[in-house]
Amino acid sequence: MYCKKCGKELRDDGQFCWNCGNKIEIKEEKNEPVVEVEKNVPEEIRCWNCKEEIDKRCDVCPKCHMRVRIIVPKNPGIAAVLSFFVPGLGHIYNGKIAIGVTTTIIVIFLVGITALLARSYGVKYGIIALAIVVILWIYSVHSSYDVAENMNDKQYK
């Protein structure tokens, strides 16, 4: 059986859809279970195969069971390597554009501040600023890896 709201395949033992949380009511008619779902569909689109109106969050059409949205998994290793070379680029690869661009701008700004402090006030202040840049850089690599893993876990569970 498939959820009529989100199109995900339902587990046999649940009272709610494991993906969207809608309550599932099973009615017995002629020894065949019929699944009814509460109708709180915010926005609908049409299935490209059967032209049935479906919730825009559906991956699978509840009527014809055709895949209506292709989910491309993100490789956490690629995200981490991209952020290693350019901090924030791994987040952009994961689709988190605002975080990625913000991280890149902050690191570029901090590198400029580091050079300015080292030139104006001595190497000691430059090293402190450089330590902050390195910590942010390492955090960017780790964070982009985690974001890619979490995105994949949510999509395929």
Q: Average pLDDT, stretch 55-81?
A: 79
Of 38, 70, 102, the residue at which a domain comes to its end is 70
Of 19, 52, 70, the residue at which a domain comes to its end is 70
Nearest-angstrom CA–CA distance, 126 and 130: 6
The length of the chain in residues reads: 157
Nearest-angstrom CA–CA distance, 30 and 89: 57
* pLDDT of 155 strictly over 90: no
| 86 secondary structure, DSSP code | S
**Predicted local distance difference test score (pLDDT) of residue 41:** 43
3 vs 12 pLDDT, higher one = 3
Q: Would the pTM of this model clear 0.75, i.e. be above it? A: no
Same domain, 61 and 86: no
Nearest-angstrom CA–CA distance, 27 and 32: 8
Same domain, 2 and 66: yes
Same domain, 83 and 66: no
**What's the number of domains the chain is made of?**
2
Of 94, 98, 90, the closest CA to residue 137 belongs to 90
Per-residue exposure over 116-153, b if at least 16 CB sit within 10 Å of its own CB, e if not: ebbeeeeeebbeebbeebeebbeebbebbbebbeebee
* Domain with 15 in it: 1-70
Q: Percent of the chain at pLDDT above 90?
A: 27
Of 19, 45, 70, the residue at which a domain comes to its end is 70
Same domain, 33 and 80: no
Question: Crossing angle for the helix pair 76-85 and 123-156, nearest 10 degrees?
Answer: 160
